[in-house]
Amino acid sequence: MEIFNTKKSLRNFLDSKSENVKVGFVPTMGALHEGHLSLVRCCRNQNEVVVVSIFVNPTQFNDKEDLANYPRTLDKDLELLRQEHVDVVFCPSVEEMYPEPDTRTFDLGGLDTTMEGAFRPGHFNGVVQIVTKLFEVVLPHRAYFGEKDFQQLTIIRYIVNQLNIPVQIVPCPIVREPDGLAMSSRNMLLGANERQAAPLISQVLFKAKDLKNSLSVSELKKWVVDQIDANPYLQTEYFEIVDDVKLQPVNSWEDPVAKVGCIAVRAGKIRLIDNIRF
């Protein structure tokens, strides 16, 4: 496994490969778990060269405390990636990726104004800043993103299309803990009481899918929030049922669009997100 810290050294290595070699890319912020590794395995199955980046991107954090507390476990991450037979790991510094401030602002077609965007202003612009920078360095044929971050996945697809970036975006299913909690690097920051309460989020979402035939969209949204907020360790920030392309609110089950329920919940100081298809 090759490990690079500079864009130039990574690019020189990839340029040494045959033009016919397919390069797959998994961008991460580290603190790797089984969800990330599922992306790596999918990438491994579809490409000759697997590149994983580990970079905690400061421009997508609008909360400095969240950035400071984000888990960093580089040695463990590298060992996990060795076990998965990853070819290349890119671990740049902030100075390497941002030698000067990135002042680019992207038109994300309104996809960034709802849900996560409403609670984390500027977050998705920062995500697109780093993803486009990484794409410019890696030049992957395919890039792999988890469906847990559904709004992010939708925005990445949108910007790749808008900017005509020649990469195939491959979505990968949510991976869950045995108790149903969606895997997240932030899970390791949960206190004991919050960790015990957190599986309620997915339990309520699964139940909501069963209830959709007996409740209206607005009734179901209220039911979900009420169920989660009844737990003293959980507080819903939002639960929205949207279409899966434009992320516009769905008002009726009869609306002829594919529907996704997206949720963000605070468990103590930790924000957890999840979603389910209806």
Report the C-alpha gap between 261 and 75 in whole angstroms: 36
What is the 3-class SS of 151-192, one letter each residue?
HHHHHHHHHHHHCCCCCEEEEECCCECCCCCECCHHHHHCCH
> Is the torsion defined by CA of 261, 262, 267, 272 positive or negative?
positive
The whole-angstrom distance between residue 189's C-alpha and the CA centroid of its chain comes to 17
Looking from the CA of 101 toward its CB, the CA atoms found within 13 Å total: 2
Sheet bearing 23-28, strands edge to edge: 2-4, 88-90, 49-54, 23-28, 142-146, 168-172
> Is the torsion defined by CA of 162, 165, 166, 168 positive or negative?
negative
Specify whether the CB–CB gap between 51 and 24 falls below 8 A. yes
Specify whether the CB–CB gap between 88 and 4 falls below 8 A. yes
Asked if 33 is an active-site residue, the reply is no
Tokens coding 239: 């639960």
Of 33, 36, 123, 141, which residue is the catalytic one? 36
Instruction: Show which residues are catalytic.
Output: 36
